[in-house]
Structure 1
């Protein structure tokens, strides 16, 4: 599924089921913010990710109560830059300081990397683009970054695959809505 088709489904289902969450989705990313984002990670951003940002530049969710799903807020380009700086300050950015007991395959066995661009946050954990994979990996693969441990294997091969998976679950009704906790994928 392409990015626009995925967003068409997401927008429709959210507008119908959780209009208050649909209203948190921002409009298109500003070109200057997009350029700053690419500069902050020092790598080219995948085309599917840029297409998505041109549709919705994250969410405006200051209360953290209107999450996209499972307590995950979709970050704006500016918030991604800020979050990346926070991770570097907290965890460092040393690609030479590997975790010896991990067996690297597709993802660097380190605590943090400038080339990991987190685009959702759920109390600091979240999904990220891996723009600096090991040779067996693919640039743009999607990781789930825990704040308190080494990075696991990629969960999706691309942002398009991640967003399409989310759209397909919404379209199939594979979610529940809790009045206090929001939308949860099943």
Structure 2
């Protein structure tokens, strides 16, 4: 099934079934990395309205602000997500989980991509209203959905054993 349809399914029914299906296809690091990079790219694009507003209000250079956001979202944050996925896997294994490092990465990266539409909403609200209650509420909703998706997806991934991924 397509990524957009899978994102919709994650919102309607939760991410567990989607992650289960991706795990059943076997370890595929390029697919997991694509989920992460598409999610980070969407959030990078989501920053543009806020950055344009900031540039107009402060007289700062929009291109410079976008360049810094590009560095952060497409270089630094992916490394942070890899580190968090490793830490999540280590904690899961210490608590008796049977999952694989790939499963932990897939769970996190898919959750990030699946929650990215709310990141786009947060960016749009920030562009229209600046630092406001509406922006904060949209951001809280985005983070809450990401954490909930990640929790559920990680529970699914921690059940999968090495070698049990093959369909």
TM class, shorter-length? 0.3 to 0.5
More strand by share: 1
Greater share of residues in helix: 2
Calculate the TM-score normalised by the size of structure 1: 0.30
Which of the pair has more CA radius of gyration? 2
Which is bigger in relative contact order (C-alpha 8 A, separation at least 6)?
Answer: 2
